[in-house]
Amino acid sequence: MWDQAVHAFGTLILSTSEQGWLEIALKFFPFVLLLELPLYLLVTAGIVRFGLREHRPDRQRERYPRVSCLITCYSEGEDVRKTIHSLAQQDYPGHIEIIAMIDGAVQNRATLEAARRAQDLVEGVPRRRLVVLPKWQRGGRVSALNAGLQMATGEVVMALDGDTSFDNDMVRHATRHFDDPRVVGVAGCLRVRNAKSSLVARLQALEYMLSIGAGKTGLSEFNLVNNISGAFGVFRTAFIRNLGGWDAGTAEDLDMTLRIKQYFGRHPGLRIVFDPHAVGHTDAPHTWMGFFRQRLRWDGDLFYLYVRKFRHNLRPRLLGWPNFLFVTFNGLFLQVVMPFMIVAYTGLLFWTLPAGAVLGILGFVYLVYLAALLLFFLLYVVVVSERPREDLGYLGLVCLFPLFAFVNRVHCSLSTLQEVFLKAHLDSSMAPWWVLRKTKF
């Protein structure tokens, strides 16, 4: 089998002079990379544009809007104090109102008491205010956000997780975009705080850099940000209130993003932007079991939202042509359909060719994908990263990332099947079952 693998790999590398690069590419070039190539080129062009623009001197700000930070808390315990402390110590001259919503406060007394004791972190800090809002009966994340939205007095509202901490210049970076009246939402940049805890956590840290830090930077340049993260989303308060707040159900972050984008067709000036220097730090699953359990919900929610809930709303008249094409290609095709194509393609290789030959072909595919990934990673470090020296330390992990991405895609197909046949979104940890089953979908 090893001899077959070496022979197949050598044939692909050495026979190009006889058959020509075009024929080899058509037969063996990673079709996934070819299908994703338009997205890679778009994001790369956006990153280059961002780099050229960011080196221009920033203009002096004239106003610092009042900010309301809505912290959704359920079972964070003492970790909520880290979040409150990082918000109270922001290098921001404007007012920051911190509202900690404790969902299911009856069974989460530890989190409630930790939030109340955090008053000492805010007292004496100018223009900072902490409000602890206990929701005695659990209603889920959306219920907590809407309760906090009712109390918010800020012009800008932030939806934040109770276990996420932030760089001390986060609010300054995130709010500067709202000087433009067309901006209705800002996606913050998330990093993995516990990256050193395990290999899977470090791989997720690299994934966050590439998909969030690099990917959203490029997409933001063309007003195509795919999602405002639920752990770190920033909005113009009046706009969110006009939408009626967050909608019940799971995946409330992508749900809100799609609902905002439904105004883009009628109001083409509206924008969602991403700021790679507004940074939050969150804990990722540190075990493979925890990682797959998390992605089971995340990936299944894509089918739930794109197909079950918004299939009649994905129209150019609502989204505008750029976002309609992007959501159709990136959301529906690359994220929902592509995982099944990858599984089918790999299975077909093993069905039709000897195992050794398949390994040789997959080795060639791996090297091509790795080369593209290395270029993308280095572009991110040079142009986007606010911690280039630290991020460069992940260079060695890039060689494992194609394998990690492949496993993730296979798992994504299983998650989608679970949602298709079992409606897994009705069994989400984001809300109690009696709340989820009251929703239309």
**How far does CA 126 lie from the centroid of its chain?**
33
Contact 334, 306 (CB under 8 A): no
pLDDT beyond 50 at 291: yes
Euclidean distance between CA atoms 207 and 226, whole angstroms: 16
Rounded mean pLDDT of 303-323?
A: 95
pLDDT tens digit sequence for 2-32: 665 565 556 555 554 455 555 555 455 566 6
Sequence ranges of the chain with CATH classification 3.90.550.10: 62-286
Residue bearing the bigger pLDDT, 107 or 242: 242
Paired strand residues for 233? 159, 187
* pLDDT given at position 349: 79
pLDDT tens digit sequence for 26-78: 455 566 677 888 999 999 999 999 999 865 555 667 789 999 999 999 888 88
* pLDDT given at position 256: 96
Q: How many CB atoms lie within 10 A of CB 266?
A: 10
* pLDDT given at position 254: 95
Q: List Cα–Cα distances, 148 to 128, 137, 212, 232, 296, in angstroms.
A: 17, 15, 27, 15, 29
Q: Who contacts 278 (Cβ-Cβ below 8 Å, separation ≥6)?
A: 167, 170, 171, 173, 174, 186, 188, 189, 232, 234
Where is 42: in which H helix or E strand? helix 31-54
Rounded mean pLDDT of 139-158?
A: 95
Q: List Cα–Cα distances, 227 to 186, 189, 378, in angstroms.
A: 10, 11, 24
Which single residue is written with the structure tokens 């990858």? Answer: 342
Euclidean distance between CA atoms 135 and 139, whole angstroms: 8
Contact 191, 279 (CB under 8 A): yes
Contact 33, 342 (CB under 8 A): no
Euclidean distance between CA atoms 135 and 142, whole angstroms: 12
Percent of the chain beyond pLDDT 90? 72
* pLDDT given at position 36: 86
pTM of the model: 0.92
* pLDDT given at position 35: 81
Residue bearing the bigger pLDDT, 395 or 356: 395
Euclidean distance between CA atoms 330 and 327, whole angstroms: 5
pLDDT tens digit sequence for 410-429: 999 999 999 999 888 888 87
Residue bearing the bigger pLDDT, 108 or 20: 108
Q: How many CB atoms lie within 10 A of CB 298?
A: 13
Q: How high is the mean pLDDT of the chain? A: 90
Euclidean distance between CA atoms 307 and 420, whole angstroms: 10
Percent of the chain beyond pLDDT 70? 91
Rounded mean pLDDT of 105-123?
A: 92
Specify the CATH architecture of the domain 62-286: Alpha-Beta Complex (3.90)
